[in-house]
Structure 1
Amino acid sequence: MLTKHSKVQTGVYRHAEPSVRMALMLVTSLFFLWGLSYGLLDVLNKHFQETLHVSKAQSGLLQAAYFGAYFIIALPAGFLMDRFGYKAGILLGLCLYAAGALLFMPAANAASFPFFLFALFVIALGLGCLETAANPYATVLGDAKGAERRLNLAQSFNGLGQFVGPLLGGALFFGGSNAGSDNSSLQTTYVVIAVIVLLVAALFARTPMPDLREQESSIQRQDSKTLWQHREFVGGVVTQFFYVAAQVGVGAFFINYVTEHWASMTSQSAAYLLSVAMICFMCGRFFSTWLMGRIPAQRLLMVYAWINVALCAVVVSGVESVSVVALVAVFFFMSIMFPTIFAMGVKNLGPHTKRGSSFLI
């Protein structure tokens, strides 16, 4: 039985091998694209407070719409990929991402906060599809033993996107003479993003991608467990729920926290500091990917988690600039949490991988 399985698995990889490297490179580009969107999201909070005169509580609806879309789309995206494969989920996600970005044009003309919420909701529907597809796809494009390192490497480019996002947002949204009253900069930014996303979608449509459903079917014949009987998956879902809540809370009001706790810090300067935090986030992923070759991923995750508990205690104490520095450091040590928890959660799920990734997203 083992010999038969080995032959099936080898056959799958022999067929897929010529395009595995290209597939991994293309999938990695997706991590940058949704990192860019998320990096801009945290800048939009403060921007809309100034241009549309919404309160901090109201601006928090941006995150509610954004991650609410993830909650809605994740399971349908998983079922879509079960039926048509990873590539279908990626293409649908890119098209929704571009459509939402183009909706920023009429939203800016109307200067309507609900319209902007809807545009972000559509973008996030697309990103939910992309994450549901790209995260598990990156883990299965290679040896299972290297899944955590491979996903952390791909997620490092997500960190790069999250660094570029606030940098662009700070320069474009807060840097102009009409920064406090004009949404026109949003139109240009998001139209350019839409064009780039559509170009990437065209590239994906024309590029053959390895279809690993045959490999997953061979594993199914050896694994009689249901999805929820996999202990690592259940633990991953619970852990990921609390981590994402913490990550969103840290990023959403970063600019507000910095301007309130560091004297003379402007919104634009705080947005640039958010980019510095995202550099820490990105460097944390690249460095930790290297470190995982020497330290088991699970142990490194535990160490980073305890360090962040201590840093958050300093942030909560509100010791002016010291707490701001601690908040920036939090980004470095939370860098590996999502990809490592995700990779551990979907490991050895076989045919349940796509549906399992839906719950973890």
Structure 2
Amino acid sequence: MATFSNSYDTKQVSGTHTGKDCRFALTSLTSLFFMWGFITCLNDILIPHLKGVFDLSYSQAMLVQFCFFGAYFIVSLPSGTLVKRLGYQKGIVLGLVIAALGCLCFYPAASLHSYAIFLLALFILASGITLLQVSANPYVSILGDAKTASSRLTMTQAFNSLGTTVAPFFGAYLILEQASEAISATASAQQVQMPYLLLAALLLLLAAAFAALKLPNMSAETRQGQTQKAGGENHQRTSAWHYRHLVLGAVGIFVYVGAEVAIGSFLVNFFTDPNIGAMEESAAAKYIAYYWGGAMVGRFIGAVAMQKIAAGKALCFNAAVAMVLMLLAMLASGHLAMTAILLVGLCNSIMFPTIFSLALKGLGKFTSQGSGILCLAIVGGAIIPLLQGVLADNIGIQASFFLPILCYGFIAYYGLSGSKVAPGSNEAKHQE
């Protein structure tokens, strides 16, 4: 699952803190990355579950992702302001408490048998996760030497991927298997109560732990690139929006997150199709782990491979392979279609960080603003799945996968051409 850094940057940890302090803080923070990956991936279990419980169309079921990822768009900028005021550690604690409150709201939603309250609960939960991300991502990046910030974020995001890999097994057993034995729709809906109460308790324990921990105190923020002298075209530009490769990169983030989330959201229903896997929902849910696990493995492979391969070419190659795999999933049946769509997870692995880094090239003093624009583009995870839901209602799940193919087509274009920095900018001159 994609994670992001917020749109402002901070100074390094004060020299009074030892390397041991930073290692302890970093170890503590990895639990957060695991938790929000775990919780986000549970949406892929909730969608088929709630679809059956409330007899929803695909487009109605995709409101789960719409409400969840819509929170990223609405809450990310206010969260940034809040974290500037409270500090990273308090921001983390507050984010955990809000996320726990969202989990607790699943109890009345199930008791009242109300889909609207489920959606509200998801929005509250996602708001807490957003605040966590805005707090934890930059905190990790400044816990130590600036030269190794990327490797620290890659390591912690691997734990995020671990959470998305484990969650399907948890959801399959505690939600889908138990729901299949329920004697009524209300009883089936109530199967989410215990799992989410457990998550709420765990989040509150983490909040208490982070409130008690003595973590390194961060210095006041500073804008990345503010001290750099902008040359070339920089002095003529007044906003990051004036950079074509940044704007196209925001579109790339939008369609990437949308495609990744949409595919994951439809996997259970796709595998239960008689022409594909003819599985029970609880069995199909476990295969989601291969999709997200592929992304985790791909990150490690990509970290090595991209040291020798240009980022744009690697992005184009992965997107092109993803298009071929999605086409197979559309046209084939049985195990071939299943295998093809699961392998797309491997292709997804490098896309988010690669698009992000390519889009920020050559922005100079506008880097911070550009980062914020890219973070807002994560709202694609709300829009694309909903659009695919409408398509699935009208032309079927398998045919609806042409929408992610279009998304990967744009990503291939961005890697090949759209990510090139406009002639005359600092970065373009450097590349020449």
Partner residue in 2 for 1:14:
15
Deviation string for 1:301-359 (max 9, x for gaps)?
44323322222222232444312211100011212322444456568777669856753
Matched, 1:250 2:263: yes
The structural deviation recorded for 1:223 is 5.8
Deviation string for 1:20-77 (max 9, x for gaps)?
2222222222111111111110111111122222222211111111111111101111
The runs of at least 4 aligned residues of structure 1 exceeding 6 Å deviation read 224-227, 346-351
Structure 2 residue matching 1:216: 3-state secondary structure: coil
The structural deviation recorded for 1:246 is 1.0
Partner residue in 1 for 2:338:
324
Matched, 1:207 2:208: no
Residue ranges of structure 1 left out of the alignment (5+ in a row): 1-8
Partner residue in 2 for 1:192:
198
Matched, 1:312 2:318: no
Which residues of 2 match residues 9-158 of structure 1 at below 5 A? 12-18=13-19, 19-158=21-160
Deviation string for 1:216-242 (max 9, x for gaps)?
369634467776279575554332112
Would you say how many aligned residue pairs link Structure 1 and Structure 2? 353
How many Å separate the matches in 2 of 1:108 and 1:130? Answer: 26
Matched, 1:178 2:182: yes
TM-score where L is the length of structure 1: 0.85
Assess if the C-alpha contact under 8 Å between 1:216 and 1:350 holds in 2: no
CA 1:343/1:199 → structure 2, altered by over 3 Å: closer, same or farther?
farther
Assess if the C-alpha contact under 8 Å between 1:138 and 1:147 holds in 2: yes
Which residues of 2 match residues 212-291 of structure 1 at below 5 A? 212-214=218-220, 216=222, 220-222=226-228, 228=240, 234=247, 236-260=249-273, 261-291=275-305
How many Å separate the matches in 2 of 1:156 and 1:180? Answer: 39
Write the letter of the residue equivalent to 2:302.
S
Deviation string for 1:164-205 (max 9, x for gaps)?
211111111221322873233211100110111111112222
Structure 2 residue matching 1:265: 3-state secondary structure: coil
Q: Which has the larger helix fraction?
A: 1
Partner residue in 1 for 2:162:
160
TM-score where L is the length of structure 2: 0.72
Q: Which moved more, 1:243-252 or 1:282-291?
A: 282-291
Structure 2 residue matching 1:220: 3-state secondary structure: coil
Residue ranges of structure 2 left out of the alignment (5+ in a row): 1-10, 379-432
The structural deviation recorded for 1:137 is 3.1
Assess if the C-alpha contact under 8 Å between 1:136 and 1:343 holds in 2: no
Deviation string for 1:244-279 (max 9, x for gaps)?
111121111111112224243221111011122222
How many Å separate the matches in 2 of 1:158 and 1:193? Answer: 16
CA 1:40/1:158 → structure 2, altered by over 3 Å: closer, same or farther?
same
Q: RMSD of the alignment, in Å?
A: 3.1
